[in-house]
Amino acid sequence: MIFVLLLSVISQGVRDKAVSGDAAAPMAGAAIRPLEVVTGAVSRGLVGLRSPRVGFDTGEERRAEIRRAADDLFNVADMARRALGQHWKGLVPCDRDEFVGLFRVALTQSFVTIVQRYTGDRPPSLDEEVAATFAQVRSRIRPEHGRDITIEYRLSRSGSQWTVYDVVLDGVSLVSNYRSQFNSIIGTSSVAQLLERMRTAPSGRLPSRDAIAGATVAEPETSARGRLAAGLLLGAASSARSGR
């Protein structure tokens, strides 16, 4: 069954009702639908970005609220495991924990970029499709300038909790793209070197294969897939569309 919802909470409800960063968060223990999980996280992110009543004094404080919403939305550990693929089994527990933490930085920065694209006056449309313990929430963002952007959130349920395990932007899977990049990097170096480069990479960016090899060649800014793997999810959409 497919439920279609116009996300008016983003264009008006958040501004009217939000009084704190947690205003749009679901009640603890409440059974909520996948669509509500996504819209709730986006709404909380918008509170951090837009509402003058939430008491955030700096841009960083606003982004921190978005990151908290991202932590509730994404199953970061599962996404990190999926992204690393076959190499995950070879990591000792402490390296797994570190990789998840480093992956979280890039993933939450992607969410910051996503939410920033929801700040126009034209509300996006969403629909939800649920099949047992899996679900898809499709969002079509209608920016003030440029073409529409389609984002599909893929969720799984554990108990009563729905979390996102992948995001697909205009047909490009975030997790699959990370996996391809990681395999390419590890194939010419090692997991240890990948971790080292991730530790020293600029916030929110994952290292390219050239960076792992110590080369000075910059990662191509026009490469949609390269930018996606670097954690710039919506930046990839803009680059891909401008090049068409």
Return the ∠ at Cα 115 (arms to 110 and 116), rounded to 5°: 100
pLDDT at position 120 is 60
pLDDT at position 23 is 39
pLDDT at position 188 is 92
Q: Is 74-242 assigned to CATH 3.10.450.710?
A: yes
Helical residues (DSSP H) of 76-207, grouped into ranges: 76-84, 93-116, 174-188, 191-200
pLDDT at position 154 is 96
pLDDT at position 163 is 96
Give me the residue spans of the domains in the chain. Answer: 74-242
pLDDT at position 239 is 34
pLDDT at position 226 is 36
pLDDT at position 58 is 62
C-beta of residue 140 within 8 angstroms of C-beta of residue 149:
yes
C-beta of residue 203 within 8 angstroms of C-beta of residue 215:
no
Helix or strand run (H / E) with residue 165: strand 161-169
pLDDT at position 148 is 81
pTM of the model: 0.69
* Per-block mean pLDDT, blocks of 10 residues, the chain (244 long): 31 35 44 88 75 58 78 94 94 95 85 68 76 93 77 93 92 90 91 88 52 32 36 35 40
Structure-token match 């690393």, residue found: 84
